[in-house]
Structure 1
Amino acid sequence: MSTLRRIKSVSLGDVVPGGADMAEPRFERADPKTLLVDSAYQRELSTRSIRLIHKVVANWDWRRFKPPVVVEIDGGFHVIDGQHTAIAAASHPAIDEIPIMVVEAAEQIDRARAFMGHNRDRVNITTTQLFHAAVAAQDPDAVTVAQICERAGARVLKNPPPNGTYEVGDTVAVKSLLTMANQLGAMKARQVLQALVEAKAAPISADLIKASALLVSAPEYAEDISLEQITNAVRSLGPRAETEARQLAAAKWMPLWRALAVVIFRSKGRGSRRAA
């Protein structure tokens, strides 16, 4: 009995088909070493990336090959998807050319959006990498958070530092930043983030962001603590803040970030600068 079946269309229901008026991709061959990567939205190579590239080179198999998706810009090919494949091919001593799929995306914003479309549902792209692509694609929420960080003196890293050493103001807590911006608004979120930068937090963790946002918004805290007090408490507590928060969280069966808010509140000193 045959196990083959034909490809058949499915019922679309209320789905409205789109994109049929776009130019179809074309296929060419290119030296992988001539391909370009735009770091405005593409990922930087991590240790994991290097391991993956080594694995691809060691187990090269044309039957598993997927042509990198590229855009032709000023005579050069910019990789939208397939950076690791292209680098593996460039590193393989027996490969001089590879097939590439050329699509149209004249503007950087279109290329960034295409990158997001290829990678949004993949497990091998981090939230921070996707965030930077979203900023390049001018996603409103991502742009707002990027502006908040810039004005507060914070920095969203694309990848955690290899040596684990963060600088003051560094963060990878994209989801917490997005949530805080939506809950508090851009101005208050910037003030909270700036308070944590002034507290010399390195990194600014997701728990610290959520705890601080709670302190300036929850009725049981907001009237009795200022931004300056949050700054002073976080700075004076240092690493002890997380230690005490973990102990409290375990004792009271509460989330770590909420316990951290309690620890900061209990350690507040004098200060009067409140969130707007």
Structure 2
Amino acid sequence: MSAEIKPIRALETAAEWPRAGIGPRPSTRVLKAAELCVDPAYQRDLSSKSVRLIRKLVEEWDWRRFKVPVVTRVDDQWHVIDGQHTAIAAVTHGGIEELEVLVVEAGDRSDRAGAFIGHNRDRVQITNSQLFFAAAAAGDEDVLTALQICERAGACVLRNPSPGRPFRPGELIAIAALMQLVKRRTAVKARTVIETLVRIRAAPITADLIKAVDIVLHDRNYGEVDPEEIVAAFEKYGAVLTAKSVELALAKAIPRARAMGVVLYQHTRKRKPARPADGANGHDAAGALLV
């Protein structure tokens, strides 16, 4: 996981870029969190997602993760341009009376609204892959387990997929599906799923493939299937499986991953009859969709 530390350097390609005027330099100061306010003309109302974020900040407050709110003086008030969730979390916490803030000049409402837009638009959104590897560097046990599973299965979790470059067999791009698999199954079962996808030379290993193979191998609504039979099905039927799963997903209005699981199950040999789910009266979910 170690990587060479990279110093900050100017981009060599930026020599001909025009330079914006810098404007007044901001300052920092410490303010009481309860003295801050927001202008509803351009600030967002608190959504359910906002409340969840604020609760998370309150429950897990850590100064190392603290983002300095950006504020400006309007008459006798301090208006938050960016960072209202942080400010509300500080007041809600009850033990954080003061916050360090970045004070900028924003003379009128249009300036403040424009700054708000800039803070929320002009940023590169962090990807699931970047979060995944950051969590690995932080020692997250589930993420480290997922990396170990992929390594032992012969898969490669892509850090930064290159635009235009064809995927190679075994390259995995479905971070969320991988983590769901690791948390839902034992390490052995999760490895079996990824290893099976490596053996069929999936390029790339997608969320639908992970979920579909996991369904066939481990869902109790399906009969027992060996990984070798899944590999054989892909080798024999190839693109037919994808085409049929798309048709089934559209016809039954079900998720593509589930449709792929049903079609894949249909094209594999089973060791035992399907295992009925609890309360299913002997009828399995896969069979119901195959008629």
TM-score with structure 2 setting the length: 0.52
CA separation of 1:143 and 1:58: change in aligned 2, threshold 3 A: farther
Query: What are the within-5 Å matches in structure 2 for residues 59-74 of structure 1?
Result: 60-63=20-23
Partner of 2:150: 149
1:158 match: secondary structure: coil
Residues 183-229 of structure 1 deviation map (CA, whole Å, 9 limit, x = unaligned): 111111001110110111111110000111111221221x3311111
Instruction: Indicate conservation of the 8 Å contact 1:40/1:133, yes or no.
Output: no
CA separation of 1:270 and 1:185: change in aligned 2, threshold 3 A: closer
CA separation of 1:61 and 1:248: change in aligned 2, threshold 3 A: farther
Partner of 2:197: 196
Partner of 2:185: 184
Partner of 2:163: 162
Instruction: Indicate conservation of the 8 Å contact 2:217/2:224, yes or no.
Output: no
2:198 match: secondary structure: helix
Q: 2:219 aligned with 1:218, yes or no?
A: yes
Structure 2 Cα separation of the partners of residues 149 and 130 of structure 1: 17
CA separation of 1:117 and 1:125: change in aligned 2, threshold 3 A: farther
User: Identity over aligned residues, as a percent?
Assistant: 35
Structure 2 Cα separation of the partners of residues 171 and 61 of structure 1: 44
Question: In structure 1, what residue type is equivalent to 2:132?
Answer: F
Structure 1 Cα separation of the partners of residues 243 and 200 of structure 2: 17
Structure 2 Cα separation of the partners of residues 63 and 183 of structure 1: 53
CA separation of 1:139 and 1:236: change in aligned 2, threshold 3 A: same
Question: In structure 1, what residue type is equivalent to 2:251?
Answer: A
Provide the aligned C-alpha RMSD in A.
Answer: 3.4
Structure 2 Cα separation of the partners of residues 224 and 184 of structure 1: 16
Structure 2 Cα separation of the partners of residues 140 and 169 of structure 1: 23
Partner of 1:242: 242
1:266 CA drift (Å): 1.2
1:179 CA drift (Å): 0.5
Structure 2 Cα separation of the partners of residues 261 and 149 of structure 1: 21
Unaligned 5+ residue runs, structure 2? 27-63, 68-119, 273-291
1:240 CA drift (Å): 3.2
Structure 1 Cα separation of the partners of residues 147 and 232 of structure 2: 25
Instruction: Indicate conservation of the 8 Å contact 1:200/1:235, yes or no.
Output: no
Instruction: Indicate conservation of the 8 Å contact 1:225/1:268, yes or no.
Output: yes
CA separation of 1:162 and 1:186: change in aligned 2, threshold 3 A: same
CA separation of 1:219 and 1:125: change in aligned 2, threshold 3 A: same
Partner of 2:207: 206
Residues 27-71 of structure 1 deviation map (CA, whole Å, 9 limit, x = unaligned): xxxxxxxxxxx85799xxxxxxx9xx96xx5454535999xxxxx
Residues 88-131 of structure 1 deviation map (CA, whole Å, 9 limit, x = unaligned): xxxxxxxxxxxxxxxxxxxxxxxxxx7x988xx97611101211
Structure 2 Cα separation of the partners of residues 242 and 64 of structure 1: 58
1:141 match: secondary structure: helix
Instruction: Indicate conservation of the 8 Å contact 1:196/1:234, yes or no.
Output: no
CA separation of 1:148 and 1:134: change in aligned 2, threshold 3 A: same
Residues 152-188 of structure 1 deviation map (CA, whole Å, 9 limit, x = unaligned): 0001101223224111110110110100111111111
1:234 CA drift (Å): 2.7
CA separation of 1:252 and 1:126: change in aligned 2, threshold 3 A: same
Instruction: Indicate conservation of the 8 Å contact 1:166/1:202, yes or no.
Output: yes
Structure 2 Cα separation of the partners of residues 264 and 64 of structure 1: 63
Instruction: Indicate conservation of the 8 Å contact 1:176/1:210, yes or no.
Output: yes
Partner of 2:260: 260
CA separation of 1:58 and 1:147: change in aligned 2, threshold 3 A: farther
Structure 2 Cα separation of the partners of residues 64 and 209 of structure 1: 52
Partner of 2:36: none
CA separation of 1:159 and 1:117: change in aligned 2, threshold 3 A: farther
Partner of 2:136: 135
Instruction: Indicate conservation of the 8 Å contact 2:158/2:173, yes or no.
Output: yes
Question: In structure 2, what residue type is equivalent to 1:167?
Answer: R
Structure 1 Cα separation of the partners of residues 253 and 271 of structure 2: 31
